[in-house]
Chains A and B, each alone.
Chain A
Amino acid sequence: MRKRSSFVRLGAAVAALSALLGLPLTSAPAAHADDPAVTLTTLYDAEGSSTIGSIGVTMPIDPTLLTETLDVNTSNIIDGTMPIPSQRTQFDAFGFIPMRATVSLTQVGPITGTLRKSPTNPRDLVITSDVAYTIRLSDVEAKVFGVWTPMFVGDHCRTADPVQIHVATPAGESFNVFTGGTVEGTYTIGNFTGCHAFFIPGLGSVAVNALVPGSDNAISLQLSNGRHP
């Protein structure tokens, strides 16, 4: 009882002070969407492939784990991770020189995105996701006179800026929180930094930036087996 009286007096004092200062009293409770986030984290199995147009190679994205955290009130994906296993990939530089390299991707920042109702069928869902990765090349080799020969690009050959990847549920498809679905997108690989030019007999000095960067890149992922952590 005493506590309540104190509270009432405090309320009156605040009201009087607000009136004096010409300030409005505290407004009604915030709209639901403004409430502190209630998050739901879900795990998905993920695998797929990515095509790098500049060198004409499609790399598998081996099975990995996507962890995404959804803000239940805004239906926005506010956090997430998806490590992509390194791949040893082979391609033909300039269309005729066999090369191979280890491609490693390191996620930069969280996965963000949206979960929304499909515009064509409101009970179906669609998602978008944005994530950035730094791409690193290592163990680059070229086949010279029939022999795989190391090309010394250095230990710090990576994209100068993280590669921004945006994927979404393809048109006409849907996403199911339990069974998952397909997401697809395109992305641009910018210039690399920290790479030594390498020398290929008969061709001369070759820069990584002359080979890999480009905008003609695509990614497709199949998400499945949605589950509570």
Chain B
Amino acid sequence: MIKIKRTLAAVAVAGVGGVTAFTMTAGPALALPADYTVTSGGSTNDVTANNLGPLEFQDTYYGWNTGAAMVCDTLDADGEVFPGDHAFTTGSTVTDAAGQVTPAAGDLDDCTNTVVGDVELTPSGTWKLGLSSKSGNGGTGYLSGVQVHLHGDVVDPVTGNTETCDADAAGTLKGTYDGTTGQLTLDHTYNGLTLTNVTSSNPTAPVPLCDNVGIYEGDPAAGDGVVQLTPAPSIS
């Protein structure tokens, strides 16, 4: 059970002819009913996150399959599950995580863009998974705290000269988690990522490289694919 201890800060009220101060403190710890319970799939709480098939991230300003897409063939990140009772995630930010992964540089690999070719996606931060609703041994979940740096370059095959496009994607992914299989299936209709720090190395070109591939500051982005958590944490 989640226990929340609430303390209200002192409230000062200025009255006529003087100042009156009130201090209120909640009494005993407040126990809330659990929305779901997580059980680790192994003997420890360690978990790994791997892709099951390609993982795809797209700039979705004009919708899915209309803009820049980055497809990665490798995700290999470590994390942990938090066994016990949890409250549903009510917004797009997970505050009571059922588990989390902390992907490092190189954990998201073998990424390509259909036009540019090879691209680098460098993940960082702590990606927290929480359910917003439960269905059987799973439910709808959010993965918040996602941070990925995108770097794409065009290398001239003759001169070796390079032009680059860089951007940061940050925010939340949404998906459906199946506690029986440990699979989180991402929902590409949820545009929970935002692209910032979009930088082309040739900003004075009529169409800088980032603009060429349709990546603009503030664009929404989404993810698609299946993430396999091993051993599979179960939900009850």
Contact = CB atoms under 8 A, between A and B. Distances in A.
Contacts of A31: 204
Interface residues of B, number: 32
A102 to B, nearest CB: 36
Interface residues of A, number: 28
Interface stretch (B2-10, B15-23, B89-97, B114-122): B114-122
Contact of B156 (A36, A117, A178, A226): A36
A73 B205 contact: yes
30 contacts: A32-B205, A33-B205, A35-B161, A36-B156, A36-B159, A37-B159, A37-B161, A38-B154, A38-B155, A38-B202, A39-B157, A39-B158, A40-B116, A70-B212, A72-B154, A72-B205, A115-B212, A116-B207, A123-B214, A123-B216, A176-B66, A176-B67, A177-B212, A177-B213, A178-B66, A179-B65, A226-B115, A228-B113, A228-B115, A228-B117
Contacts, number: 89
Interface in B147-161: 154-159, 161
A117 B162 CA distance: 22
Interface string A57-84: 0000000000000101111000000000
A61 B169 CA distance: 41
Contacts of A72: 154, 163, 202, 205, 209, 212
Contacts of B213: 177-178
Contact of A117 (B158, B204, B207): B207
Nearest to B204: A32
Q: Give the residue among A31, A32, A40, A114 with the most B Cβ atoms within 10 A.
A: A40
Q: Give the residue among A115, A117, A178, A226 with the most B Cβ atoms within 10 A.
A: A178
Interface string A90-128: 000000000000000000000000111100000101000
Interface of A: 31-33, 35-40, 42, 70, 72-75, 114-117, 123, 125, 176-179, 226-228
Contact of B115 (A33, A35, A73, A178): A178
A38 B214 CA distance: 19
Nearest to B68: A178
A39 B216 CA distance: 21
| In the complex, the 3 A-B pairs of residues with the closest C-beta atoms, listed nearest first | A75-B206, A75-B207, A228-B117
A176 B69 CA distance: 13
Q: Give the residue among A33, A72, A123, A178 with the most B Cβ atoms within 10 A.
A: A72
Contacts of A179: 65-66
Contacts of A176: 66-67, 214
Contacts of B159: 36-38
